[in-house]
Amino acid sequence: DIQMTQSPSSLSASVGDRVTISCRASQNIDTYLNWYQHKPGKAPQLLIYGASSLQIGVPSRFSGSGSETNFTLTITSLQPEDFATYYCQQSYIIPPWTFGQGTKVDIK
Amino acid sequence: EVQLVQSAAEVKKPGEALRISCKGSGYGFTSYWISWVRQMPGEGLEWMGQIDSSDSYTKYNPSLQGHVTISVDKSISTAYLQWSSLQASDTAIYYCARTTYTGRNSGNLYYFDNWGQGTLVTVSS
């Protein structure tokens, strides 16, 4: 299986901060990398697909970059509604598709 | 509007059988796969498997294969996840997700673009 490792596992930030979350794959996955936001009690939401393509309806403050084994999700100006857990997910090899362990973003 | 509506929360005893459902609407149901993803208490997301809604072809996470069964009834646009004998370790929130793709020269890129609201399954004696 391809292992996905996110860092940090959690972070505290303030509204308006720039936030960066990293995701590392255990092998080259090209740009077969997606990012999701998950809030407690809610359905996960797709943010970014293909490492850098913004899903329709997602605010432009979210962006993704990277290729091969190293990827980044950036939130340029954190908003109150952005406090959530973020997951990366590889779709290079199936089965199984694998998620990172998640990065929880909470209020400082 | 694309919607995936899941069945209600369940409380079961170890050894009991269970089937939960996910009904799609607002799109061509048979044009997409449906995946099931679980979140165990305090843990992250784990892909369990998927089904092609048009022909019922399934793929499973090898770590789970044999313990769960994914099926579909395309006549009512509904996918199912079922257990024949639940274990306490099956306690989790289960999400269904529509699986879509973007064509690429190097092979299709798949991602989960719409999700159900989740079904909490509690297994306890």
Task: Give pLDDT tens digits for B84-121.
Answer: 999 999 999 999 999 999 988 888 999 999 999 999 99
- The CA distance from B55 to B53, in Å, is 6
CB B101 within 8 A of CB B108: yes
Contacts of B45 in chain A (CB under 8 A): 36, 38, 44, 87, 89, 99, 102
CB B6 within 8 A of CB B96: yes
Contacts of B62 in chain A (CB under 8 A): 95-96
Contact B102 A30 (CB under 8 A): no
Contact A46 B95 (CB under 8 A): no
Contact B62 A50 (CB under 8 A): no
CB contact set of B35 (below 8 Å; sequence gap of 6+):
A97, B47, B48, B49, B50, B96, B97, B98, B99, B112
pLDDT at A108: 87
Q: What's the burial of A74, exposed, middle or buried (CB within 10 Å: 0-12/13-18/19+)?
A: middle
How close, in Å, is residue B73 to chain A by CA atoms? 23
pLDDT at B77: 98
Contact with chain B for residue A46, Cβ under 8 A = yes
* Number of separate helices (H) and strands (E) present in chain A: 0, 11
**pLDDT tens profile B17-26:** 999 999 999 9
pLDDT in tens, chain A (108 residues): 999 999 999 999 999 999 999 999 999 999 999 999 999 999 999 999 999 999 999 999 999 999 999 999 999 999 999 999 999 999 998 889 999 999 999 988
Q: What is the largest CA-CA distance in chain A?
A: 39
How close, in Å, is residue B93 to chain A by CA atoms? 10
Contact with chain B for residue A94, Cβ under 8 A = yes
CB contact set of A67 (below 8 Å; sequence gap of 6+):
A30, A31, A51
Has residue B12 got a pLDDT over 80?
A: yes
pLDDT at B88: 97
CB B15 within 8 A of CB B32: no
Contacts of A50 in chain B (CB under 8 A): 102, 104, 109, 111
**pLDDT tens profile B29-74:** 999 999 999 999 999 999 999 999 999 999 999 998 789 999 999 9
Q: Give CA separation, A13 vs A10, A72, B40, in Å.
A: 10, 17, 26
Contact with chain A for residue B109, Cβ under 8 A = yes
* Full DSSP string of B41-66: TT--EEEEEEEETTT--EEE-TTTBT
